[in-house]
Structure 1
């Protein structure tokens, strides 16, 4: 059992226990028939970039233990029976088979061959388990988002501890993936460069390779850049703890600090160049929805910086004719941070109107 085949295509409003396992927090709740998430709980994520390769298997066992224990607790607390649990997992995984190849925010540079849905089904066979990549879950949530329309293509992008991108056909619910490896949109691991004062800064990605988009544009990438620069450059203070750097940076951006805005433009440019190439090669994606902790914390200033790069770089024959071209196609998503939970639950149900299809 992989948990990645689309369920029967029919409307379904049964409650689903939903999980979202990210690099910072593990969250859980119940998706109701109205599409809301109730009983939200969260704990600090297990693992992290310091995870030693030899301990990854142990960490995976602890993740399964936490999922089973939490599912049992939630199901016992509910007045109605719940027989479905849906997991959104921040990992590169085969969308066809459910095999997890790696998760830099959780496992560091380790490569894996892990099938969590199989392990969960073995532990609680009476429960129907589904496990889906977190950005795929965000894409499934777009099927129930009236702002994206019901036809054409859309994409979900998460900018958080990691970065990834996923396109989806809104009419069929199909997410196109590689025929063999079941992947799509791992843009955080594309090569990138960041220039500061005319010099290229080389920063590591959580996956263990230098110079990726996530090295500069993810939450952790921004954090390490802030600590590479003198705090006074962007409005921070030298005495501030490392853990408070992103919050201080967000405040400096909101206050319009010139140095902070300069840093913001530096870290959004690598992602902007990827989105520009994507817009050129896949024009049927008419709406790209940005989500994640970085977008939520930096708000409208983040989107303005990203759009500024796109407008400056330009898309031949389109944005030069239509100055609002990118503003109409790249937008911020809901800021409650629950769409991965919703999308995982919608996928498990087969989405409310039956539009999820296999890859």
Structure 2
């Protein structure tokens, strides 16, 4: 990966550098909103390398009258990081959970957000006099993983799978990002993986992968599974993906057959989802991101690999970075494409600045 050599320029030096560009980005998830400012010198000998200068994270506002409360939160967070950096953005990149409306103007009826419509494009273009690009968050993650690795190994067929509050994937095929109509390709969380339990999904369908294995769906699957197989439900705390993963680690020590059996069946579900990705997209590599997977590699990630059908050649399947920043980085890279000489910028692999 790329690294910085030498001392970074001072803030005054950066502000006086006419070749330096500033890209603001925001990542809108069902749980958190992240914002950041990236900057770099796009001319001379530095190449097209940009690095993160300011980074902030907040809980998604879920108690507003309508989706404009999230829109206003995103605009404020972008303005805050720009003010702190002392810059006006040359471009803005947005990574967001979907689905997106026609023309990618808003988030429309997201199964994991409490609003039917969250306007994005028009309010952002009114607030900031610069180009605004909008990507599905998994597509942004896929784009970053492709750009950051293509010079090392030449992989041109890649899927970025995120397992978090929801489940989705971004697809790079032949070196091109596959967005589909209105940026909504890759909603892999809404494939059917089960009919035995036929669990309801937040989108209104049944049996979908997201209804079983996402951060929001895993507790539902656990309760349904225990009604059929378990001796007694976990008590004493709220059942979440986190508490279930903790129980799985305890089960490994205490030989709890029920929890062990539940996570084996969850691994089967995840194996079906991964098998579908392989059959649908024939990738060379699958990068698995999202906190449900990256924070529980021994509980969620590794067991699923044992239940993949090998109809097509098995791709390389790797765990993404646990910092969860691939979609935010990808949104910034995508927004920076139209700046400078047209060469695609690269995000330097340096740690994100700490939150205050």
Global fold match (TM > 0.5): yes
CA distance in 2, matches of 1:337, 1:30: 16
Inter-CA distance 305–22: structure 2 relative to 1 (3 Å threshold): same
5 Å-filtered alignment, 1:182-193, equals 182-193=183-194
Shift of 1:32: 4.1
Q: Summarize the Cα distance change of 1:355–1:69 in structure 2 as closer, same or farther, 3 Å threshold.
A: closer
Question: 1:95–1:183: 8 Å Cα contact kept in structure 2?
Answer: no
Note the C-alpha offset of 1:97: 4.6
Corresponding residue for residue 202 of structure 1: 198
**Alignment of structure 1 residues 50-61 onto 2, 5 Å:** 58-61=65-68
From 163, 166, 190, the counterpart of 1:162? 166
Please point out which of 287, 290, 312 is paired with 2:288: 290
Count matched residues: 311
- CA distance 1:281–1:25, shift in 2 (3 Å): closer
Change (3 A) 1:297 1:72: same
Aligned twin of 2:148: 145
Equivalent residue for 1:63, pick from 63, 70, 81: 70
CA distance in 2 between counterparts of 1:223 and 1:13 reads: 48
Residues 1-359 of structure 1 correspond to what in structure 2 (within 5 A)?
14-33=21-40, 35-47=50-62, 58-93=65-100, 97-98=104-105, 100-107=107-114, 110=116, 112=117, 116-122=120-126, 124-146=127-149, 149-169=153-173, 171=175, 174-178=176-180, 180-193=181-194, 200-228=196-224, 237-242=234-239, 245-255=240-250, 256=252, 258-283=257-282, 285-310=283-308, 313-315=309-311, 318=313, 325-326=314-315, 329-350=316-337, 354-355=343-344
Partners of 1:234 and 1:341 in 2: how far apart? 43
Distance in 2 separating the partners of 1:157 and 1:299: 14
5+ residue gaps, structure 2, are 1-18, 41-48, 346-356
Change (3 A) 1:260 1:75: same
Contact persistence 1:235–1:252 (CA under 8 A): no
Distance in 1, matches of 2:231 and 2:293, equals 18
Deviation at 1:170, TM superposition (A): 6.0
Greater relative contact order (CA < 8 Å, ≥ 6 in sequence): 1
Distance 1:136 1:13, change over 3 A: farther
| SS of residue in 2 equivalent to 1:105 | coil
Q: Distance in 2 between matches of 1:305 and 1:221?
A: 18
Query: Aligned-residue CA RMSD in angstroms?
Result: 3.2
**Relative to structure 1, is the Cα distance of residues 234 and 71 closer, same or farther in structure 2, using a 3 angstrom cutoff?**
farther
CA distance in 1, matches of 2:265, 2:278: 21
- Residues 81 and 45 from structure 1, CA distance in 2 versus in 1: closer, same or farther, beyond 3 angstroms? closer
Instruction: State the alpha-carbon separation in 2 of the partners of residues 62 and 118 from structure 1.
Output: 15
Per-residue deviation, 1:314: 3.0
Contact 2:135-2:331 at 8 Å conserved across structures: yes
Q: Do the aligned partners of 2:216 and 2:241 also contact (CA within 8 Å) in 1?
A: no
Paired position in structure 1 for 2:353? none
Q: Could you tell me whether the CA contact under 8 Å between 2:33 and 2:74 is conserved in 1?
A: no
Q: Which moved more, 1:229-238 or 1:139-148?
A: 229-238
By how many angstroms is 1:185 displaced? 1.5
Q: Partners of 1:69 and 1:186 in 2: how far apart?
A: 29
CA contact (8 A) 1:236 1:249 kept: no
CA drift at 1:234: 10
Go from structure 1 to structure 2 and tell me whether the alpha carbon gap of 1:342 and 1:20 turns closer, same or farther (over 3 Å shift): same
In the superposition, the TM-score normalised over structure 2's length comes to 0.76
Query: Is this contact kept in 1: 2:21–2:39, CA < 8 A?
Result: yes
The answer to whether the Cα contact below 8 Å between 1:253 and 1:298 also exists between their aligned partners in 2 is: no
Query: Residues 350 and 270 from structure 1, CA distance in 2 versus in 1: closer, same or farther, beyond 3 angstroms?
Result: same
Unaligned runs of 5+ in 1: 1-11, 195-199, 319-324
Match of 1:7 in 2: none
Change (3 A) 1:237 1:92: same
Cα-to-partner distance string for 1:103-149 (whole Å, 9 max, x where unaligned):
111147x4x5x651122112x14243222111111011113333873
